[in-house]
Structure 1
Amino acid sequence: MIVSAVKRIPVTEPVWKDLSEMRSAGQTYAELLSDIIEERKKRRLEEDAKIWESRPDSEFVPLSGIKN
Protein backbone atom coordinates (compact mmCIF):
# COMPACT_ATOMS: atom_id res chain seq x y z
CA MET A 1 0.00 0.00 0.00
CA ILE A 2 1.39 3.40 -0.97
CA VAL A 3 0.78 6.15 1.53
CA SER A 4 0.77 9.59 0.00
CA ALA A 5 2.49 12.39 1.89
CA VAL A 6 3.15 15.95 0.86
CA LYS A 7 6.84 16.76 1.05
CA ARG A 8 8.64 19.82 -0.22
CA ILE A 9 11.90 19.62 -2.09
CA PRO A 10 13.60 22.98 -2.62
CA VAL A 11 15.00 23.36 -6.14
CA THR A 12 16.48 26.24 -8.06
CA GLU A 13 14.47 28.01 -10.73
CA PRO A 14 16.48 26.41 -13.59
CA VAL A 15 15.89 22.92 -12.15
CA TRP A 16 12.18 23.64 -11.78
CA LYS A 17 12.04 24.78 -15.40
CA ASP A 18 13.88 21.65 -16.59
CA LEU A 19 11.53 19.40 -14.62
CA SER A 20 8.51 21.22 -16.00
CA GLU A 21 9.77 20.71 -19.55
CA MET A 22 10.40 17.00 -18.92
CA ARG A 23 6.85 16.27 -17.73
CA SER A 24 4.42 14.63 -20.10
CA ALA A 25 0.89 15.97 -20.45
CA GLY A 26 -1.05 14.99 -17.33
CA GLN A 27 2.01 13.61 -15.57
CA THR A 28 2.47 14.61 -11.93
CA TYR A 29 5.84 15.66 -10.55
CA ALA A 30 5.75 12.57 -8.32
CA GLU A 31 5.35 10.37 -11.41
CA LEU A 32 8.12 12.24 -13.22
CA LEU A 33 10.51 11.89 -10.29
CA SER A 34 9.62 8.21 -9.94
CA ASP A 35 10.43 7.67 -13.64
CA ILE A 36 13.73 9.51 -13.27
CA ILE A 37 14.65 7.40 -10.22
CA GLU A 38 13.83 4.15 -12.03
CA GLU A 39 15.93 5.18 -15.04
CA ARG A 40 18.85 6.02 -12.73
CA LYS A 41 18.56 2.64 -10.99
CA LYS A 42 18.56 0.83 -14.35
CA ARG A 43 21.60 2.80 -15.52
CA ARG A 44 23.50 1.95 -12.32
CA LEU A 45 22.63 -1.73 -12.70
CA GLU A 46 23.80 -1.72 -16.32
CA GLU A 47 27.05 0.00 -15.32
CA ASP A 48 27.63 -2.52 -12.51
CA ALA A 49 26.93 -5.42 -14.88
CA LYS A 50 29.48 -4.06 -17.37
CA ILE A 51 32.08 -3.84 -14.60
CA TRP A 52 31.41 -7.44 -13.50
CA GLU A 53 31.44 -8.71 -17.10
CA SER A 54 34.86 -7.13 -17.65
CA ARG A 55 36.44 -8.97 -14.71
CA PRO A 56 38.52 -12.05 -15.54
CA ASP A 57 36.99 -15.42 -14.70
CA SER A 58 39.91 -16.06 -12.36
CA GLU A 59 38.42 -13.57 -9.86
CA PHE A 60 35.30 -15.72 -9.41
CA VAL A 61 34.90 -18.74 -7.14
CA PRO A 62 32.58 -21.57 -8.16
CA LEU A 63 29.54 -21.92 -5.91
CA SER A 64 30.60 -25.49 -5.15
CA GLY A 65 33.79 -24.04 -3.63
CA ILE A 66 31.91 -21.97 -1.06
CA LYS A 67 31.47 -23.56 2.36
CA ASN A 68 28.59 -22.65 4.66
Structure 2
Amino acid sequence: MSTLTGKLADPEFRRERARKASAAAHSTDRYINVLVERAPELTENHRAQLRALLASQDGGQRADG
Protein backbone atom coordinates (compact mmCIF):
# COMPACT_ATOMS: atom_id res chain seq x y z
CA MET A 1 0.00 0.00 0.00
CA SER A 2 1.35 3.39 -0.96
CA THR A 3 1.72 5.95 1.81
CA LEU A 4 2.78 8.72 -0.55
CA THR A 5 0.63 11.82 -0.27
CA GLY A 6 -0.05 13.95 -3.29
CA LYS A 7 1.64 11.61 -5.72
CA LEU A 8 0.02 10.30 -8.87
CA ALA A 9 0.92 6.78 -7.79
CA ASP A 10 -1.34 7.16 -4.73
CA PRO A 11 -4.88 5.93 -5.55
CA GLU A 12 -6.44 7.96 -2.72
CA PHE A 13 -4.80 11.13 -4.02
CA ARG A 14 -6.17 10.42 -7.51
CA ARG A 15 -9.68 9.74 -6.14
CA GLU A 16 -9.66 12.95 -4.12
CA ARG A 17 -8.37 14.94 -7.10
CA ALA A 18 -11.12 13.44 -9.28
CA ARG A 19 -13.77 14.31 -6.66
CA LYS A 20 -12.59 17.92 -6.55
CA ALA A 21 -12.47 18.17 -10.34
CA SER A 22 -15.99 16.80 -10.64
CA ALA A 23 -17.30 19.18 -7.98
CA ALA A 24 -15.69 22.12 -9.77
CA ALA A 25 -17.05 21.04 -13.16
CA HIS A 26 -20.58 20.76 -11.75
CA SER A 27 -20.55 23.85 -9.55
CA THR A 28 -23.11 26.62 -9.87
CA ASP A 29 -20.29 29.05 -10.66
CA ARG A 30 -19.18 26.90 -13.60
CA TYR A 31 -22.71 26.76 -15.03
CA ILE A 32 -23.02 30.54 -14.70
CA ASN A 33 -19.67 31.08 -16.42
CA VAL A 34 -20.65 28.81 -19.31
CA LEU A 35 -23.97 30.61 -19.70
CA VAL A 36 -22.26 34.01 -19.73
CA GLU A 37 -19.69 32.80 -22.27
CA ARG A 38 -22.50 31.61 -24.55
CA ALA A 39 -24.70 34.70 -24.07
CA PRO A 40 -24.17 35.94 -27.64
CA GLU A 41 -25.66 32.66 -28.92
CA LEU A 42 -28.90 33.04 -26.95
CA THR A 43 -32.03 33.91 -28.88
CA GLU A 44 -34.37 36.59 -27.60
CA ASN A 45 -36.73 33.80 -26.51
CA HIS A 46 -33.91 32.20 -24.48
CA ARG A 47 -33.12 35.55 -22.87
CA ALA A 48 -36.78 36.06 -21.95
CA GLN A 49 -36.93 32.59 -20.39
CA LEU A 50 -33.74 33.24 -18.46
CA ARG A 51 -35.02 36.61 -17.21
CA ALA A 52 -38.23 34.95 -16.01
CA LEU A 53 -36.33 32.19 -14.22
CA LEU A 54 -33.96 34.61 -12.54
CA ALA A 55 -36.83 36.85 -11.46
CA SER A 56 -38.91 34.02 -9.97
CA GLN A 57 -38.71 33.25 -6.28
CA ASP A 58 -38.53 29.48 -6.77
CA GLY A 59 -36.16 29.40 -9.75
CA GLY A 60 -38.95 28.23 -12.04
CA GLN A 61 -39.67 25.01 -10.15
CA ARG A 62 -43.26 23.94 -9.85
CA ALA A 63 -44.87 22.39 -6.80
CA ASP A 64 -46.55 19.78 -9.01
CA GLY A 65 -43.59 18.69 -11.04
TM range (shorter): 0.3 to 0.5
Structure with greater contact order relative to length (CA < 8 Å, sep ≥ 6): 1
- Report the TM-score when normalising by structure 1: 0.32
- Report the TM-score when normalising by structure 2: 0.33
